[in-house]
Amino acid sequence: MKSLVVIPSRWQSSRFPGKPLELIGEKPMIQHVWERVSKSNADDIWIATDDQRIFDVAESFGAQVMMTTQCDTGTERVIEVHQTIDSDIVVNVQGDEPFINPKDINLVIDLIKSNPNHIATLKTDLIDSELEDPNTVKIMCTQNKEVAMFTRNDTKGKSWFKHVGIYGYSSTTLDMLSRMTATENSINNTLEQLTWMDNDIRMIADYTEYRSFGIDTPADLERANNFLKL
């Protein structure tokens, strides 16, 4: 089964415009993401963007990059690439995850191979500072790894984990998502995965010990540069 990883990357961000090209060490953030993904078992890797600046930089470090239309979500960019590049499995790795673990990408690919009718994702342990943080998406699963719920709200108890923002889809499932419109539940909670669950798409989440972190603010960028020096 051929696997494709798409890295959606946009210039506009309410909290941190232009962050894909901000430097972490001596490289732009999007290059760190691409280099990490390149160490996975994926057969094909594409960056998807609607911004010429990101496109040009991605080409300069050797990435395959596709210009998309102006999309509302990263998933929409992934769908546009998938409609051009043939693959059986598609993985969405967010373009603001410069420390993504290649082994986690492999884990998601394997999850879809064994659960083709599900959307695959990952979870990890929550730390105290994340429990009340609305920017931290929490996930609850059943004993057989089926996703039961997502929330941004304050959570307590051992049933909740931190959601790791990586998604894997079969080609068939991604085609189904392309025909969906956002549900009120999804819009109110700013969680696009609720649209999928509201449309009876089953999700499955495996556990990873690895704790990556995304870049949402200038403070996160400073943290990333300090992390790189360790």
Longest Cα–Cα distance of the chain, Å, equals 47
Residues 183 and 161: their CA atoms lie apart, in Å, by 24
Q: Name the residue among 104, 103, 96 with its Cα closest to residue 167.
A: 104
In a domain, 49, yes or no: yes
**What number of H helices and E strands is found in the chain?**
8, 11
Domain count, the chain: 1
Sorted by sequence, the CB contacts under 8 Å of residue 113 that are 6+ apart come out as 1, 89
> Which two three-digit tokens encode residue 229?
């020096």
If you search the block for the tokens 């943290």, which residue do you land on? 223
* Whether residue 217 has pLDDT greater than 90: no
In a domain, 115, yes or no: yes
Beta pairing partners, 144 = none
Residues 101 and 37: their CA atoms lie apart, in Å, by 8
Average pLDDT value for the chain: 94
In a domain, 166, yes or no: yes
In a domain, 82, yes or no: yes
Residues 36 and 215: their CA atoms lie apart, in Å, by 15
Provide the domain limits for residue 165: 3-211
Task: Report CA Rg, the chain.
Answer: 17
In a domain, 125, yes or no: yes
Beta pairing partners, 203 = 119
Write the pLDDT tens digit of every residue in 176-201: 999 999 999 999 999 999 999 999 99
Q: Which pLDDT does position 230 carry in this prediction?
A: 64
In a domain, 220, yes or no: no
In a domain, 218, yes or no: no
Please state the pTM of the whole predicted model. 0.94
> Which two three-digit tokens encode residue 195?
């649209």
Residues 92 and 6 sit within 8 Å (Cβ to Cβ): yes
Q: Is 198 helix (H, G, I), strand (E, B) or coil?
A: helix
Write the pLDDT tens digit of every residue in 76-121: 999 999 999 999 999 999 999 999 999 999 999 999 999 999 999 9
Strands 138-141 and 89-93: unpaired
In a domain, 200, yes or no: yes
> Which two three-digit tokens encode residue 1?
């089964």
CATH of the domain at 41: 3.90.550.10
